[in-house]
Structure 1
Amino acid sequence: MNRQVKILLVDDNEDSLIALEAVLRPLQQQLFKARSGQEAMKLMLRNDFAVVLLDVLMPGMDGFETAAHVKRLDQTRDVPIIFLTGTDTGAGAAFRGYAVGAVDYITKPFDPWVLRSKVAVFIDLFRKNVELQQQAALLCELVRGDGEPSGGCQILSGFAERLRAVEEKLAALGEDRPDDKGLTEAVKDLADRVAAMRAAFDSVVL
């Protein structure tokens, strides 16, 4: 059974928070509420959230400023942010939202089904990432060697370096035959697979 994940709802309007809770409750996850950017930051430093739903128009530190702070911190920079805003924020608001690192920008009133489906995607991604980290840690333990606490991770680090070298050779191979579309596509597919493997090893040793 999949464990519950944490979702953060940030809005200075209590009625909006209640509405968001009602929309997301069917997902059966842990819902946290914050009524300001400062309160949101405190919660994010204490919890691992799968996604943050962030209102743009808030007194004091608004949504854009809050998102900028979130993206500056190593502990929170990878948390997905979905902006929620009214229709009176201006034409450039969406661009500004993406510029500060948001993954989506939704205008109120929103379709509950659409919002719920978007949040469900990030729940699934969060769970898969946790599972990958757990599997990588287990692999690190399995290849632990020489009695050294970090021996297994050192071996994995060596694998990652070798895969990086393979990536470079594949890139050079593709550049040598730019007119051969069949070869280019095959090399790209192989390079993508190698890159995914290297990313998995990197997630352990970083």
Structure 2
Amino acid sequence: MTAPAPDRSSILIVDDMDENLVALEAVLGPLDQQLVTARSGEEALKAMLRQDFAVVLLDVLMPGMDGFETASNIKRLDQTKDVPIILLTGTDVDADYAYRGYALGAADFLSKPIDPWVLRTKVNVFLDLDRKNRQLAVQAEQLRRLLVAEQTPGRAGGGTAAVGPLEGHGPDSTGTPGSMGAGTGGAERLAEITEKLVQIELMLRDPEANESPVLADRIAELEREVRTMGANGAG
């Protein structure tokens, strides 16, 4: 799956009627995000397997694969199960439609005609969450690169540009250049940091954990630990 540009998220709009797609694109245009349209549930699933989306606006009443079946398939796939879904439907619908939507894992349910301000407000919530998640993922990847650079044998004053302040470590008590700390203590600390990175990566895959400020704090703390170890091992 491909990722959107760093400063933009992607929104998928699914409706079998062209006039509805045009109307929704007009409402969401001011958000200045990438808008992708699909005219059926099958098209929507194909689009979601090609790229990442911050949120899906999904019409319930469509011929063939309707919105409920499409939502069920989205939630069944590992690649797409965490993408928020806002279900859209007309006013003359069964009373249990909202219940069915939430039972399938939909994040919200709106009836047409849709208030443009309400829709933009709800979509913005998921755009903010998507931006935060991508920023945290980038930070986690930077930490991984720092750890890989520190574990590279024989690295003395070299390394990649991504290493930054950790470049130029001197030999430790074992005489090995560029290692993080001395002897068993350094190895144990490195193992602890690696384990923390694994925990962070697991949290990144959990939508509920991503909503907590704890994840950002853990990434910042781990980054400080890595840089501190690098500074202690230098010279």
**TM-score normalised per structure 1:** 0.74
Gaps of 5+ in 1: 164-191, 202-206
1:115 counterpart (119, 123, 136): 119
Aligned to 2:151: 146
Partner-residue secondary structure (3-state), 2:79: coil
| In 1: Cα distance, 2:47 partner to 2:199 partner | 40
Q: Deviations over 1:150-178 (max 9, x none)?
A: x9996544236899xxxxxxxxxxxxxxx
Aligned to 1:131: 135
Gaps of 5+ in 2: 154-186, 201-211, 222-235
Matched to 1:85, the amino acid is T
Q: Deviations over 1:58-106 (max 9, x none)?
A: 0000001001100111110111100011122211110100111110000
* RMSD, matched Cα: 3.0
2:46 counterpart (42, 47, 63): 42
1:159 counterpart (196, 211, 214): 196
2:57 counterpart (53, 58, 61): 53
| In 1: Cα distance, 2:140 partner to 2:214 partner | 16
| Larger proportion of helix | 1
Partner-residue secondary structure (3-state), 2:54: strand
| In 1: Cα distance, 2:38 partner to 2:85 partner | 14
Q: Percent identity?
A: 57
Q: CA deviation at 1:197?
A: 5.7
Matched, 1:85 2:89: yes
| In 2: Cα distance, 1:59 partner to 1:161 partner | 44
How many pairs are equivalent? 171
CA 162–116 in structure 1, closer or farther in 2 if over 3 Å, else same: closer
Structure with greater Cα Rg:
2
Partner-residue secondary structure (3-state), 2:151: coil
Q: Deviations over 1:115-141 (max 9, x none)?
A: 011111111110110000000111122
Q: CA deviation at 1:195?
A: 7.3
- Do the aligned residues in 1 keep the contact of 2:14 with 2:44 (CA within 8 Å)? yes
Q: CA deviation at 1:5?
A: 1.2
- Do the aligned residues in 1 keep the contact of 2:68 with 2:104 (CA within 8 Å)? yes
Matched to 2:196, the amino acid is F
- Do the aligned residues in 1 keep the contact of 2:140 with 2:197 (CA within 8 Å)? no
Partner-residue secondary structure (3-state), 1:49: coil
